[in-house]
Amino acid sequence: MTGTNDFTADQAAYDYIPAEEIANRINALQQRLVAEKLSAVLVTHNVSVLYWTGTMQTGYLFVPAAGEPTLYVRRSVERAKREASIRTVPLGSFSRFGQTLRQDYASIFESEGPPRVGADLDTLPASTYLKLASFVSEAYDGDKGGAALPDRGLSRLTDASPLLRRARMVKSAWEIERIERAAVALEESLAEALPELKEGVSELEWIARVEYGVRCRGHIGVMRLRGYNQEVPTGMVGSGTAAAEPTYFDGPAGGRGLGPSAPQSVSMKRFARNEPILLDLGCCIDGYVIDQTRTAVIGELSDELKEAYGAAEHIIREVEKLMVEGARCSDIYVASLKLAADRGLADHFMGFGADQVRFLGHGIGLEIDEWPVLANGFDMPLEPGMVLAVEPKFTFPGVGVVGIENSYVITAGGSPPRALTRTKEQLFVL
């Protein structure tokens, strides 16, 4: 259970997720299951398991619409029991998982009609999905004379990914405090590293200095991303042409990277005078991320780039006014497009040409690409407690990228959002 441990003094700072926090999350999830007429949900993704249990040990979380949830752990059972705030048991034989579910949740699987069980299909490997689907089918069909075939199971393991992602959109005060801790760690580390951002230093050398600073302050070493085949390091520091180089990363500026095996973020390019340097950095404390961007230059930017940077600051100020409780995400995105077009910069906004991305901002939390997203198709209204990173940026091929990014928490009652980012807003002229 949370807080009950015999760790030594050097582990005293080990930060458990409070049991009350987990209980509130489970209760909110069960309410959503009832509303969606789901009998239960099977959570398999490690970040989601962490969110609803308090541990990230390997296993499967089964949450019924009513009653006690269970975390079935493959390894480490001992550590999971120490960290989790819900019923935690060994998984046992994976091939018998269907029988285990039937035994533990007879009221669900011995019902007259087949239960509707959801799962996080957006992250679940197909091979594991087929096995789990057959187990769910077996749990229901075990003694009914029907064949427990995968195709029967498919109809009883539905996609609950949107439900699960929506359930995590609104952050608690405990979660927001973790994001704020990350913001402070990044602010302090950037302040220490900026004096070393000099002509002739490579992007890789300099970001290592930032990473040293945030690591010493508790950064876990990764920034988790949910998107399939997407990765994100601690940040993207790109100077001049390297920042504007297109890549697979689903963001307005991916960076050149270190080669085909790492085709994003920092490269071996060295900083030069009078070119834009994009400092898109993050930090992750207790699993929760902060995301921010600042622009720097050694010398002076061209008039074109100065104008574009000014446009980015203007857009983020106007968007702050729009980010109030009840505002639709898609409307805010459309407004940003108009603001960029009014400055004559539509072709450069959030990328260039075919590589322009179709969003302005994104939710952050345990992952860097959470919901909601400021984009077309996201017509959901903003709610107090949602945390979003807003990143107006302008890309000029062969020249560079300029922009700004802050993370905000939505407040109640029509008030403007509260900025969580701590680093001073300015064009850093070095």
Contact status, residue 289 vs residue 250, Cβ threshold 8 Å = no
**What's residue 332's pLDDT?**
98
Hey, what amino acid is at 31? Q
Q: Which of 167, 182, 213 is the last residue of a domain?
A: 167
- Residue 154: pLDDT band with limits 50, 70, 90: very low
Phi-psi bin for 337: left (phi > 0), alpha (psi -120 to 50), beta?
A: alpha
Contact status, residue 203 vs residue 271, Cβ threshold 8 Å = yes
Q: Which of 134, 167, 200 is the last residue of a domain?
A: 167
Residues of the domain holding 177 = 173-429
How far apart CA 105 and CA 61 sit, in angstroms, is 13
Whether 1 is in a domain gets the answer: no
Number of domains within the chain: 2
Burial of 14 (0-12, 13-18, 19+ CB in 10 A): exposed
**196 and 57 fall within a common domain:** no
For residue 400, what are the β-bridge partners?
A: 396
According to DSSP, the β-strands at 406-409 and 370-374 are unpaired
pTM across the whole model: 0.93
Whether 247 is in a domain gets the answer: yes
For residue 360, what are the β-bridge partners?
A: none
Q: What is the mean pLDDT of the chain?
A: 93
Whether 299 is in a domain gets the answer: yes
- Model pLDDT for residues 368-380, shown as the tens digit of each residue: 999 999 999 999 9
- pLDDT reading at 6 higher than 90: no
- Model pLDDT for residues 263-311, shown as the tens digit of each residue: 999 999 999 999 999 999 999 999 999 999 999 999 999 999 999 999 9
- Residue 10: pLDDT band with limits 50, 70, 90: low
**What's residue 412's pLDDT?**
97
CATH for 345: 3.90.230.10
